[in-house]
Copies of this chain bind each other. A is one copy, B any other.
Amino acid sequence: MSIHPAWLPPCAFLAGRRVLVDSDHPLADTVREEVIRAGGILTPHADLTFTAGPAGDAFTLTGDRVAADGPRGMIYGLFELARGGAAGRHEPSFERRMIDHWDNVDVHPVMGQVERGYSGGSIFWKDGVLRGDLGRVRDYARLLAAAGINAVTINNVNVHAAEARLLTDRRDEVVTLAREFRHFGIVTHLSINFAAPVILGDLPTADPLDPHVRQWWATIANSLCEDISDFGGFLVKADSEGQPGPFTYGRSHAEGANMLAAALAPHGGVVHWRAFVYNHRQDWRDRTTDRARAAYDHFAPLDGLFADNVIVQVKHGPIDFQTREPLSPVLTAMPSTRLAVELQVTQEYTGQQKHVCYLAPMWKEVLDSVHGDLTAVSNVGDDRYWTGHPLAQANLYAAGRLAWNPDPTAVLDEWMTLTFPEAPSELRTVLHRIMDRSWLTYEKYTAPLGIGFMVRPGHHYGPDVDGYEYTPWGTYHFADRDGVGVDRTSATGTAFAAQYPHSRYESTATCPDELLLFFHHVPYTHVLHSGSTVIQHIYDTHFDGVTEVESMLAAWQEASSLVDPDLHARVASRLDEQLRSATEWRDQMNTYFYRKSGIPDTHGRRIH
């Protein structure tokens, strides 16, 4: 299958342009390559000049100049010009903008090669070894740079045996990949296994306070940073879903993270330490335990105890990348800790790149409220369109660009310009009709009023209302014949609502409709702020959601002459599947709740 970037052709605006790249930094050569590739002319007598200061990613555009704060800004300025960006200063609101890959070296028998990946195999590894031809990785680094990304973690947070060795005897593979990414100003990070000193080092313990363990990590970090001068650091999933961690040794997460941080500190590296810690062997009968509370309960008490180069990485919501969640309270509860917010670009719970679901509007709500690092789990694989669903490219793009431009619609426009530079305005109109509100459409037919996890267990695609209801995973909706929802109030529930600095979620009077069932167990006849009842809202949104998918399909038909036929066919076939799946969601959800509540649809529509 041929490589098909399908989004970022050479920067046509450079054709015939006289360009001076006035810097001796290696990234200046990257900019010069772009000029040559697009048919521009490198000359001291330029009508466009790139300059770079010593540090920083921001840049200023004027009519004939890209004045970058640091070398990377020259590249960002280049792509800003490519999308016809405005003059003035461009500055990211997140200093580190990182893409996390959940790629494995080996193909996992259940999860495949890329965990929660829906776009084929890894672009890094194939058949258990690093790919020989890394041209595609270079192309990918270019895509990420265009999206304003400056860091990448190359392997899965669940670190299996082969991947653990990237630290040691397979380090040359990291070195090689880092070189490709460095070409576009992207720093490479590595997911590590907390038990590596035992697995790889023949030590009897991985206790973070053991001096031999500390020495082992220091030696590893020294070697890594010697081979990779700009090595970014480690990403760690510890004491989570079966992964090893400091709890094994009676140590705190601060002690675990700080030990790794000490090893990296001399080299300027950082530790991204995930806050995704909860009891995944919960008893569904136990109403006192609430998974939503777990990250806060574990981490908020540790505020101020982490080293300066530890970044606690927090999923944007308190549960796990559901279609609708409140903001994780951890993100506002640790003022003395560096934080990163983690988004999920790969559509694990939002349609698995079979459904159109442009996530930027959801992320905007998150990013407006938090600061620190921005990290996002990749949706890329060796699929010819990178992301399985060609329109899912826009999510990868937005995951970076929202740090620079907080307007999801404008970011979508940027992506269209870069992807379809020759396209008529009709195509833009069609894509906006399909994509702008696609997240809300997906929410309508899957996740009413903040209830999540009504998916098929394991693979998480398609409906299964009770699929997780009696499992150890802590993901329940408590639907009975009278009502539905999780009581997380302080008065009568798990008191998760009290983890917020405000009391908005404590009362149905102030809780927004879209999160009502996340925080409250209410009767089906409860009247929403919208004026509808809960049960009628469920019926209405499910019927509406399917209708909206039908409109997407109709809109895409109008685009048949506006895009490449292969691309059109790919999107069309995915939309067909989306319609089938949305219909299945509608019918199963409506039937489930009708069978339970016995309350008919006020419009008399067909419920099976």
Binding site for B on A (CB under 8 A): 109, 284-285, 463-467, 470, 479-482, 584, 587-588, 591-592, 594-598, 608
Contacts and interface: CB of A to CB of B under 8 A. Distances in A.
B481 A588 contact: no
Contact of A596 (B481, B594, B608): B481
Contact of A481 (B464, B584, B597): B597
Contacts of A464: 466-467, 470
A109 B110 CA distance: 8
Nearest to A595: B480
Contacts of A587: 285, 470
B591 A470 contact: yes
17 contacts: A463-B470, A464-B470, A466-B466, A466-B467, A466-B592, A470-B584, A470-B591, A470-B592, A479-B595, A480-B594, A480-B595, A480-B596, A481-B481, A481-B595, A481-B596, A481-B597, A596-B596
Contacts of A480: 594-596, 598
A482 B594 CA distance: 11
A466 B469 CA distance: 10
A608 B286 CA distance: 9
Contacts of A467: 464, 466-467
Given A464-B466, A480-B594, 13 more contacts: A284-B608, A285-B587, A464-B467, A466-B466, A466-B467, A470-B584, A470-B587, A470-B591, A470-B592, A480-B595, A481-B597, A481-B598, A596-B596
Nearest to A462: B470
A199 to B, nearest CB: 25
A592 B596 CA distance: 11
Contacts of A592: 466, 470
Contacts of A608: 284-285
A591 B109 CA distance: 35
Given A481-B481, A608-B285, A470 B598 contact: no
Q: How many copies, total?
A: 2
Nearest to A480: B595
Nearest to A479: B595
A595 B588 CA distance: 18
Contacts of A109: 109
A598 B285 CA distance: 18
Residue among A109, A466, A584 having the largest count of chain B Cβ atoms under 10 Å: A466
Contacts of A594: 480
A361 B135 CA distance: 67
Given A480-B596, A481-B597, A470 B588 contact: yes
Contacts of A598: 480-482
User: Lowest 6 CB-CB distances: which A-B pairs, in order?
Assistant: A480-B595, A466-B466, A285-B608, A470-B588, A481-B481, A481-B598
Nearest to A583: B285
Contacts of A597: 481
Nearest to A587: B285
Nearest to A606: B285
A454 B299 CA distance: 39
A594 B466 CA distance: 15
A582 to B, nearest CB: 14
A597 B481 CA distance: 7
A109 B109 CA distance: 7
A470 B463 CA distance: 9
A351 B608 CA distance: 33
A465 B467 CA distance: 9
Nearest to A597: B481
A482 B598 CA distance: 8
A176 B352 CA distance: 49
Nearest to A463: B470
A484 to B, nearest CB: 10
Residue among A470, A480, A481, A587 having the largest count of chain B Cβ atoms under 10 Å: A470
A422 B278 CA distance: 52
Contacts of A463: 470
Contacts of A465: 466
A448 B564 CA distance: 57
Contacts of A482: 598
Nearest to A109: B109
A87 to B, nearest CB: 56
A535 to B, nearest CB: 12
A109 B596 CA distance: 38
A465 B597 CA distance: 18
A45 to B, nearest CB: 64
A56 to B, nearest CB: 50
Contacts of A588: 470
A466 to B, nearest CB: 4
A109 B107 CA distance: 12
A467 B588 CA distance: 12
Contacts of A595: 479-481, 596
Nearest to A478: B595
A359 B482 CA distance: 40
Nearest to A588: B470
A463 B592 CA distance: 18
A592 B592 CA distance: 13
A465 B598 CA distance: 19
A277 B46 CA distance: 76
Contacts of A470: 463-464, 584, 587-588, 591-592
A464 B465 CA distance: 11
A499 to B, nearest CB: 26
A47 to B, nearest CB: 60
A464 B597 CA distance: 20
A134 B296 CA distance: 59
Contacts of A584: 470
